[in-house]
């Protein structure tokens, strides 16, 4: 997984949006934001994924094909929803089987976007309460294994004053040492 600061320039969300020169984000910055990742080769990944799932308490899983074929008539609407800034009350755990895409996360307290370019073999854990979004890259397809602590669910809470006060958002900010009143 490659992590770098998003350039915030207008344009196609499927483009890399890397600053010139690039501004890589160090692993310790991601760790300070409670973003976790592993690189696990796709061939033979089952044992490693099962071990992580057991260790982290992920009890269920499914796969999702995010592409025009996989989403059908809902493609445009779903892509807009994925790219709308939001948070979840649960961790978002994704393992890339095929394809590639971008997860953008908000750095706190700076509010800068960090772009995470994911490809096959990347396992990413986006913590509950962090603002983020997702988009495909120009290849326009990704197949991911999704891991869940309980039953599969994906409930986005779009960024607003209400989500700023959400108990999971406040808990996330506290977990990274940020005072929610100053964000």
Residues of the binding site for Fe(2+): 86, 88, 92, 132
Query: Which residues are annotated as part of the binding site for Ni(2+)?
Result: 86, 88, 92, 132
Is the CB of residue 135 less than 8 Å from the CB of residue 174? no
CB atoms within 10 A of CB 108: 21
- Got the DSSP string for 31-90? HHTT-EEEE--STTTHHHHHHHHHHHT--EEEEEEEEHHHHGGGHHHHHHHHHS-EE-SS
Residue 177, burial from CB neighbour count under 10 angstroms (0-12, 13-18, 19+): exposed
Query: Which residues are annotated as part of the binding site?
Result: 86, 88, 92, 132
């Amino acid at each position: 997984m490659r992590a770098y600061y998003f350039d915030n320039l207008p344009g196609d969300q499927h483009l890399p949006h890397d600053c010139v020169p690039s501004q890589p984000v160090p692993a310790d910055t991601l760790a300070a934001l409670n973003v976790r990742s592993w690189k696990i080769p796709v061939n033979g990944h089952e044992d490693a994924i099962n071990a992580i799932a057991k260790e982290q308490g992920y009890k269920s899983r499914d796969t999702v094909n995010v592409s025009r074929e996989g989403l059908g008539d809902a493609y445009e609407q779903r892509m807009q929803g994925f790219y709308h800034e939001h948070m979840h009350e649960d961790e978002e755990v994704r393992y890339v089987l095929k394809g590639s895409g971008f997860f953008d996360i908000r750095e706190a307290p700076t509010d800068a976007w960090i772009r995470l370019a994911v490809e096959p073999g990347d396992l990413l854990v986006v913590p509950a309460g962090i603002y983020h979004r997702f988009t495909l890259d120009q290849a326009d397809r990704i197949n991911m294994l999704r891991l869940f602590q309980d039953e599969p669910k994906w409930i986005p809470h779009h960024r607003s004053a209400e989500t700023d006060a959400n108990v999971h958002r406040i808990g996330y900010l506290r977990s990274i040492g940020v005072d929610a009143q100053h964000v």
